[in-house]
Amino acid sequence: MPPDNQKETQTAYRTLFWCLLIGFTILRLFLINKFGLGVDESHYLLYSRKLAWGYFDHPPMVAFLAALTTLPGDSVFFVRLGPVICTAFSLILLRYLAIALYRDERMAFWAALTLHLMPYQQVLMVGLLPDATLNLFWCGTLLSVWHAIKTGRWSLWILTGLLFGGALLSKYHAVLLALCLLGYFITSSEHRYWLGKIQPWAAVMISLAVFVPNIIWNARHEWISYAYQLGQGSGEGLSWGDFLAAIGGQLAAWSPLIFGLLIAAGVVLARQKKMSGSDRFVIWTSIPIFALFCLAGLTTKILPHWTTAGWWTGSIAVVAVVLKKIASPNPSARRWRRWTAAAAVTGFFMSALLYLALFLPVAETAYNKARDFSIKLNQKFPAVKTLKPFEPRNDISNELFGWPEIAKKVEAIRSRMPRPEKTFVFSHRFFMASQIGVYLQPDTVAASLHRKFDQYHLWFAAPKHTGWDALLVVDRRRHIKRAQRYRPLFDKMDPQPASIQILRNGRLAQDLMVYTYYGFRGRFEAY
């Protein structure tokens, strides 16, 4: 390509990148207040109201972010404003990283577009989750360390340490980045010498210094976060079902064909006779993360979004291979074009379907179609069981709607209690306690009285609430059994619950029961 045409191409892709970034950022800002807070978002918002250097399951950065962006108010818009801003800056860092690695504006645009074609990225780019700040510090660390190993400047190594410390304060999974970079240094003949220099180790010490407040917090709380995270990776033996679920989760979260392109890209890059430093860098900072969590699925349950950080260089790896393959004169170029186009179309429709599910009864419609089909099959083959009628709990998007109204109704019940100032609200699951708790009056104590230890066990001092009355909010399914479970914790229980039903677009979305208890005995062990 002539130099003038190459310059024009680079300028065009630079413009396309900024249009993509600005366009999707505006779209996200428009959509973020159109649906309620999710399970985890509510929980982390409560973190921001009880600031600390650590919490049961995560470091504090997500709480710091929420506390900062909700200073003007705690509306859904301000809650999600922080993640949207973090996403925008993460994409900017991605652009500079792609250009630093390959000197090609095309890489930046196509990598950013690839991320936007992944269904679950649509959630991670707007949701108040630890991944929002992790992605930002992760990308910053990658960009900083790449320039540091190229220039050797002390200031960049110091910056790398600070950024990696921020990543550790965002999510404990950040430790994987250090392991990935170590693997890169060990296998890179070009940059292996850095392991014998003081700068990288100084960066590690700086990051640990940034992380020290969390270590101190954990030391004061029986190392609870670290024990929980280590327990996440342990199981009771091999489970091929969990392994297949881990693989399936990756395929569903990131789009099966895009995930397939990542695997193909990793194989292509690894099989090169002479691998460039850039190719080695993107492989080591992406593929091991997916491999580790998928293999961990052999012994424990893996959540799909745990691998999200790997996509920030994984998307660059995919684009690096695809651009090279589709431009090749080999007959395989046509096949790569077809698979890439199919991956893009599949990712687009899966992402679009996710958005539609927030505003249309997609789950209900699909379920009813499946039920109609099962009824027809049953008529021909009686052995085939028909599906039960659709229930609101079958549509997980319903969990995003109705909680302000639910909280208002719960508060109305609490106000009619004999001692409303000494009546706390609890649930059988922590997420329900969180989703209600963010909308309750500030003086209302919300808790989750559950056998499984969670954050509420740190917040809710049971002995201090001895003698208090309480309201249990529980979904209708098996509500009597669940209500009876908590009876030994109190002196008395009203067996007649109140009902709360929330409609969404004229359809039942939330179906809850509220039980009343009197005289909390100040302990959990009875249940």
Shared-domain flag, residues 247 and 133: yes
> Are residues 377 and 329 located together in one domain of the fold?
no
Do 351 and 406 share a domain, yes or no?
A: no
Alpha helices in 152-197 (DSSP H): 154-170, 175-187
For residues 160 and 280, membership in a common domain is answered with yes
Gap between the Cα atoms of 39 and 396, Å rounded: 11
Instruction: Tell whether 258 is covered by a domain.
Output: yes
CA distances from 34 to 27, 43, 71, 79, 365 (A): 12, 19, 20, 13, 21
Could you tell me if residue 212 is inside a domain?
Answer: yes
- Integer CA distances (angstroms), 172 to 63, 178, 237, in order: 15, 11, 24
> Is 473 a domain residue?
yes
pLDDT digits over 19-40, tens only?
A: 999 999 999 999 999 989 998 9
Establish if 526 belongs to a structural domain: no
Instruction: Convert the pLDDT of each residue in 258-298 to its tens digit.
Output: 999 999 999 999 998 889 999 999 999 999 999 999 999 88
- The answer to whether residues 379 and 316 belong to one domain is no
Sign of the C-alpha dihedral computed for residues 456, 459, 460 and 461 taken in this order: positive
Q: Are residues 353 and 372 in the same domain?
A: no
Cβ contact 461:470 at 8 Å? no
What's the pLDDT score for residue 108?
A: 96
pLDDT at 366 over 90: no
456 belongs to a structural domain: yes
Under DSSP, the state recorded for 500 is E
Answer yes or no: do 297 and 375 share one domain: no
- Model confidence at 2, in pLDDT bands (50, 70, 90)? low
Is 61 inside any structural domain? Answer: yes
Structure letter (DSSP) for residue 70: T
Residues 97 and 210 placed together within one structural domain of the fold: yes
Range of the domain at 381: 363-390
- The reply to whether 525 falls in a domain is no
Are 351 and 446 found together in one domain?
Answer: no
Q: Collapsing DSSP states into helix, strand and coil, what is residue 445?
A: coil
How does pLDDT run across 52-76, given as a tens digit for each residue? Answer: 999 999 999 999 999 999 999 889 9
Number of domains comprising the chain: 3
**For 150-155, which contacts have Cβ atoms below 8 Å and span 24 or more sequence positions?**
152/199, 154/199
Q: What mean pLDDT comes out for the span 391-405?
A: 87
Q: What average pLDDT does the segment 487-494 reach?
A: 93
Give Cβ neighbours of residue 400 (< 8 Å, ≥ 6 apart): 35, 36, 37, 38, 358
In this prediction the pTM is: 0.92
**Which of 168, 145, 172, 119 has the alpha carbon at shortest distance from 311?**
119
415 pLDDT above the threshold of 60: yes
DSSP for residue 387: P
- Is 150 in the same domain as 65? yes
**pLDDT average, residue stretch 366-390:** 87
pLDDT digit string, tens, across residues 443-453 = 788 887 766 77
Residue 326 lies in a domain: yes
Residues 331 and 470 in one domain: no
Determine the 3-state secondary structure of 45 from DSSP.
helix
Contacts of 147 (CB under 8 A, 6+ apart): 100, 153, 156
Q: Same structural domain for residues 212 and 305?
A: yes
